[in-house]
Amino acid sequence: MHLRPATEADLDELVGMQEVASVAALAHVFPQATHPFPRAAVLERWRTELADPATAVYVSTDDARRITGFAARRHDELLHFGTATHMWGTGLASALHDDLLGTFPQEVSLIRLRVFEENHRARRFWEKNGWRPTGRTSRSPFAPHPVLLEHELHLPKRS
């Protein structure tokens, strides 16, 4: 796995990969007949986040430089994280997770993320990797506005 900062040139491939994975993992949360993947809105969100100096956006790539995963963080929050469906079960998500933790600034000791309440697979992944639910909830900005659960992780002291 190669982890690198994302660029504008990555966005079409990134969003295409994200769409396939999101539909596969979240069709029960976002029924595609009534709430299809909002490709244009997601692409615009990525463009906005890439342009934001406070947001760090990364992609993982394979040896052929194809995007296999993505992550974005801002301050103490993990905003986005995912891998290509053909990489599920390969250990890529764990490797991406571990590499991403090392990108948080030294002064950040507690990080947080939000995960869909009904995304049981993702929740198992986060909890297996030490993340704990805080009990705080919010709602997705995308219809049908499913519940998001906040999780947090204490980072080990780094020198």
pLDDT in tens, 100-122: 999 999 999 999 999 999 999 99
123 found inside a domain = yes
132 in a domain, yes or no? yes
pLDDT tens digits, residue range 28-85?
999 999 999 999 999 999 999 999 999 999 999 999 999 999 999 999 999 999 999 9
Note down the domain range covering 64. Answer: 2-154
Residue 159 lies in a domain: no
Residue 27: inside a domain, yes or no?
yes
Whether 99 is covered by a domain: the verdict is yes
CATH number of domain containing 79 = 3.40.630.30
DSSP 38: -
* CA nearest to 128, candidates 104, 159, 153: 153
Total structural domains within the chain? 1
Pairing mode of beta strands 77-83, 110-116: parallel
User: How many Å apart are CA 48 and CA 20, to the nearest integer?
Assistant: 22
Is 111 a member of any domain?
yes
pTM for the structure as a whole: 0.94
Q: What is the mean pLDDT of the chain?
A: 96
Average pLDDT over residues 130-151: 97
- Single out the residue of 159, 133, 130, 158 nearest to residue 148, CA to CA: 133
| pLDDT given at position 156 | 87
